Amino acid sequence: MSHIVDRRKNDKGKSTGNRQKFLKRVESQIRKAIPDIISQESIKDSNTGGSVKVPVRGLDEPAFRHDPKTGRKQVVRPGNDRYNEGDRIPKPKGGSGSGGGKGSNSPEVTEDEFTVVLSREEFLKYFFDDLELPNMVKKLMESTESFEMKRAGYTRDSVPSRLNIKTSYQQSLGRQLALKGAFEKKLQNLQEQLAKTKKKDERAALEVEIEKAKRQANTIPFFEDIDLRYNNFERVPIPVTSAVMFCIMDVSASMGHHEKDIAKRFFTLLYIFLTRQYKNVELVFIRHHTEAKEVDEEEFFNSRESGGTVVAPSLKLMDKIMRERYDESWNVYCCQASDGDVWSKQDALECKNLLLETILPCIQYMAYIEINNKSKESDLWQAYNRISNDEEFSIRHIYEVYEIWPVFQGLFRKRKEAAVS
Amino acid sequence: MTDKDKYRAMFCNPNWDYNTLEAADEVISRIGREYLKLKTYPNQIEIVTSEQMLDAYALTGLPTSYPHWKFGKDFVLNQNNYTKGRMGLSYELVINSNPCISYNMENNSTCMMLLVIAHACQGHNAFFANNYMFLDWTSAESIVDYMVFARDYILRCEEEYGEEEVERVLDAAHALMNHGVDKYKKPSKLSAIEEKERLKKLTLIKRENYNEIWKTLPAAPVILDAGIGEEQRFPKEPEENILYFIEKYAPALPQWKREIIRIVRKVSQYFYPQGATKVMNEGFATFTHYHIINKMFEEGYVNDGFMLEFLKSHSGVLYQPEYNSKYYSGLNPYTLGFNIFMDIKRICLNPTAEDKQWFPDLIGKNWLEQVHYIMENFRDDSFILQYLSPKVIRDMKLFTIVDNEHETEYEIGAIHNERGYRKVREQLSSQYDRASMVPNIQVTKVDLHQTSKLYLTHAIQKERRLDAESAKATLEHIRYLWGFPVELHSKNKLGINESSFEMK
């Protein structure tokens, strides 16, 4: 008798484990492919999620097999429409005429390549595996600014509003029972003595005692201080799960399309990175030429303005926004992109001081990327260079798209490696 | 309404439900049993989604298997091809087990479901249950159990010895899968319970014989007792089952690795008949569904519309592009097998003068009995060699091409004419012979005296040499398992070395 089973509701992930094993095997290839993917701008719409395709060279499974080019082979084919026994047909080949030699057939390179579709999660795992946001761990461990009260058992001493009636009553009942037992025993003793003795004065004394014990047994207090139990609360530090990222970009005339494109990609990378580390990431876009302005993303990357460059106002604006909107429970990251042109040395110096005195102490990390081809060190670069350290403020040069990933990696390399190098 | 009307209404509705399948199975098994006299295992028909089908593909239909990246790779490959539309999934997948498990795609129409049930649950099932290859070399009763055992064993090894080491052994054993089959000795039937018992016994014996003091002795190579002293050759006879040889005689292999090799060997053995009966198996299943559905039509279970859809699918299955078509990708085993079986029936019923000369044994016989006899007692190469008739060669216009490495031209060896029939037949038969696909490599010698070196010999056939890259990689795997140097010689007919590979 046949048995019909509807399996459709069963799990479909039967191959997940084996797939993971396979991915592990091609891990190095996936990692290698990541910079390509970034420069091919396939993660531009990174916020939307979805999957990423990584080309992988098929893993060879060796076995003893015949070399297809050798030997006397006879094959049977269907659908003969023109041939007769003994017909001869020239072999099709690329470099014909070489005739008969063993190596006459140029080896065909079989590109056994196929793509692995990685889910967004998997991709990001490879993407950021060896990176770590500077200071982030530290912040998580040390960020005791934010606490949560959590119930933690009972205490004997607290304010009346936290009285736990049920537990207190349990204590009281126990105490009452215990005391009552003690008095009753005493009473029993006294009554036995009373029954034994005949002397009048003794009996009277005993009766007084009995009377007293009875009274005491009836007047056990319902609640005493020792019964009272209060709910206990403890302050538990909660890890900070929100971050805000300030993107500051120079939009003066000197920043062309190419520079902006690089800046955008860099910001995108940082954004993806942060979304992976924090539950909640907010973005603040500040652009500046001679004056700074907070804008939305669209405007930030697209509209174009001209004019000279003064950087300090943007830092001031950032500082203001930070103090107004983001309290201490936020992790603050800042990323500034510029071509390094500034109006005057004075401006650069002001920026340096602003950073050093007001901004750097409050934020987790700041990265400055300068998008030019390093022909000369800009004023801003020189100013920043003096205060940069890899702990909380890094500066880097980028000019080509392919440089983004290495620079990004360099900026956010795990500290251990940085210490070694 | 009679039952038949009710059934017809169900079968002719393109949407099916559980009742439809149950009714279909009932009618189809009855026809299979009474009309085609099929003896089958009980069926377990599983309705699956495309994702589940992909899972099933990755494990070649087995409900479970040990974990290995290879299955993950196959899964990713199939998934890519499927989602890109480069590959369609088959309507069904069936495995040789008792009960016979078949997976049917949920998006099949009713007609497809009936076709698939007739094809897989009657055709393939009967083939598994009656063909000598499957009966002798596999045990349908215990394969599912055995795979559960294999999975658990490998998982335990992974825990104990680390995933990487286990993977290393599996990789090496997989490279030798084609050389892990007993072609002549029938393997003993396996069962998970017995297998566990065997392992238990093994550890028990080991424990009983354990003696702390022996630890101080240098470990004696396992094979030393096989003839030291005299100049005896070991192994006495060349051994073609390389995996078996390594499992039994590798000098320094820990027991658990031997067990893993054994598992791979058993799985390889299980799939051996499938590869050797592709044409027959598919041909017979197609022959079966064709007869069953036609019988249903005769008996009035299905209407003309159903038959149109059926014939469309049926001819789709049998589509054989010609050699110069861009869709050509080899001979379609469904077509070849179906044509041969149909022609056997024709020869029994309406023989021509030519048939009387070619197949005197079939003339006037009961066609069903003959089909049964052939289905039970042949495999692809012998089947084609015996029963590929001139008519089928003519109908399919088969011809042979000779491709000699040393010549610049192909030569047409034989075509569908009087002179060519036998040649085409022999040629096609040898094409389905395992020897033409898997190089003939055997263990010929082990150096027992000094190096424990393993010598393999490849007997070159038809001047076909080994693919050097792949051979080297495979040798490296053997080197790992054997634990000592390995050497491979390719020898031609005269016994002269043509090429050698060595792993030190």
What CATH number did the domain enclosing A316 receive?
3.40.50.410
Q: Which of A95-104, A201-210, B284-293, B359-368 has the lowest mean pLDDT?
A: A95-104
Please check whether residues A354 and A263 belong to one and the same domain.
yes
Q: In this predicted model, what pLDDT tens digit does every residue of A218-249 receive, in sequence order?
A: 888 888 888 889 998 887 766 666 778 888 88
Q: Could you tell me which of B442, B440, B457, B455 has the C-alpha nearest to residue B486?
A: B455
| Alpha-helical segments (H) within A111-228 | 120-128, 136-142, 165-196, 200-218
Please check whether residues A415 and A323 belong to one and the same domain.
yes
Please check whether residues A122 and A211 belong to one and the same domain.
no
Please tell me the distance from the alpha carbon of residue A405 to that of residue A398, in angstroms, as a whole number.
Answer: 10
| Shortest alpha-carbon distance between residue B237 and chain A (Å) | 21
Residue A95 included in any domain: no
pLDDT digit string (tens) for chain B, length 504 residues: 578 888 999 998 888 989 999 999 999 999 999 999 999 999 999 999 888 888 888 888 888 899 998 898 888 888 877 877 777 777 888 999 999 999 998 888 999 999 999 999 999 999 999 999 999 888 888 899 999 999 999 999 999 999 999 999 999 999 999 999 887 766 666 677 778 888 888 888 877 777 766 666 665 555 544 444 445 678 888 899 999 999 999 988 999 999 999 999 999 999 999 999 999 999 999 999 999 999 999 999 999 999 999 999 999 999 999 988 888 888 999 999 999 999 999 999 999 999 999 999 999 899 999 999 999 999 999 999 999 999 999 999 999 999 888 888 899 999 999 999 999 999 999 999 888 889 999 999 998 888 889 999 999 988 888 999 899 999 999 999 999 999 999 998 888 888 888 888
ipTM, 2 decimals? 0.82
For all residues of chain A together, what is the average pLDDT? Answer: 75
Please check whether residues A292 and A411 belong to one and the same domain.
yes
Q: Is the pLDDT of residue A103 over 80?
A: no
State the amino acid at position A410 in one-letter form. G
Please tell me the distance from the alpha carbon of residue A120 to that of residue A117, in angstroms, as a whole number.
Answer: 9
| Alpha-helical segments (H) within A246-395 | 257-277, 297-302, 312-325, 345-354, 379-387
| Tokens 């943007």 sit on residue | A314
Please check whether residues A195 and A290 belong to one and the same domain.
no
Residue A147 included in any domain: no
* pLDDT at residue A1, as a whole number: 65
Residue A83 included in any domain: no
Q: Are B370 and B362 a contacting pair, CB within 8 Å? A: yes
| Alpha-helical segments (H) within A219-306 | 257-277, 297-302
* pLDDT at residue A104, as a whole number: 29
Is there a contact between B54 and A73 if contact means CB atoms under 8 Å apart?
Answer: no
* pLDDT at residue B259, as a whole number: 93
* Sign of CA pseudo-dihedral B357, B361, B363, B369: negative
Reported pTM: 0.71
Count Cβ atoms within 10 A of the Cβ of residue B237 and give its class: 0-12 exposed, 13-18 middle, 19 or more buried.
exposed
CA dist A372 → A19, A246, A289, B399 (Å)? 43, 21, 17, 69
Closest CA in chain A for residue B17 = A6
Contact residues on chain B for A119, CB-CB shorter than 8 A: none
Closest CA in chain B for residue A21 = B69
Residue A145 included in any domain: no
* pLDDT at residue B131, as a whole number: 95
Please check whether residues A24 and A172 belong to one and the same domain.
no
What would you report as the CA-atom Rg of chain B, rounded to the nearest whole angstrom?
26
Please check whether residues A227 and A260 belong to one and the same domain.
no
B153-179 burial code (b ≥16 CB/10 A, e <16) = bbeebbeebeeebbbbbbbbbbbbbbb
Residue A139 included in any domain: no
Q: In total, how many domains does chain A have? A: 3
Please check whether residues A117 and A186 belong to one and the same domain.
no
Please check whether residues A306 and A361 belong to one and the same domain.
yes
Is there a contact between A76 and B431 if contact means CB atoms under 8 Å apart?
Answer: yes
Which residues, including other chains, have CB under 8 Å from residue B80's CB and lie 6 or more apart?
A114, A115, A116, A117, B86
* pLDDT at residue B260, as a whole number: 95
Residue A72 included in any domain: no
Is there a contact between A8 and B106 if contact means CB atoms under 8 Å apart?
Answer: yes
Please check whether residues A118 and A170 belong to one and the same domain.
no
Please tell me the distance from the alpha carbon of residue B264 to that of residue A22, in angstroms, as a whole number.
Answer: 19
* pLDDT at residue A42, as a whole number: 42
Residue A325 included in any domain: yes
Q: Which domain holds residue A206?
A: 160-233
| Shortest alpha-carbon distance between residue B251 and chain A (Å) | 23
The domain boundary, picked from A173, A200, A233, lies at A233
φ/ψ bin of B221: left (φ > 0), alpha (ψ from -120 to 50), beta (otherwise): beta
Query: Is pLDDT larger for residue A49 or for residue B21?
Result: B21
Which tokens go with B20? 């439809």
* pLDDT at residue A136, as a whole number: 52
Longest dimension (CA), chain A: 148
Contact residues on chain A for B407, CB-CB shorter than 8 A: 100
Please check whether residues A221 and A318 belong to one and the same domain.
no
| Shortest alpha-carbon distance between residue B332 and chain A (Å) | 10
* Sign of CA pseudo-dihedral A327, A333, A339, A343: positive
**Percent of chain A, pLDDT > 70?**
75
Q: Is the pLDDT of residue A128 over 70?
A: no
Please tell me the distance from the alpha carbon of residue B153 to that of residue B49, in angstroms, as a whole number.
Answer: 29
* pLDDT at residue A373, as a whole number: 72
Please check whether residues A251 and A377 belong to one and the same domain.
yes
Please tell me the distance from the alpha carbon of residue B81 to that of residue B78, in angstroms, as a whole number.
Answer: 5
Q: Is the pLDDT of residue A421 over 70?
A: no
Closest CA in chain B for residue A112 = B77
Residue A88 included in any domain: no
* pLDDT at residue B425, as a whole number: 94
DSSP labels for B95-146? Answer: -S-SSEEEEEETT--HHHHHHHIIIIIIIIHHHHHH-HHHHHH--TTTHHHH
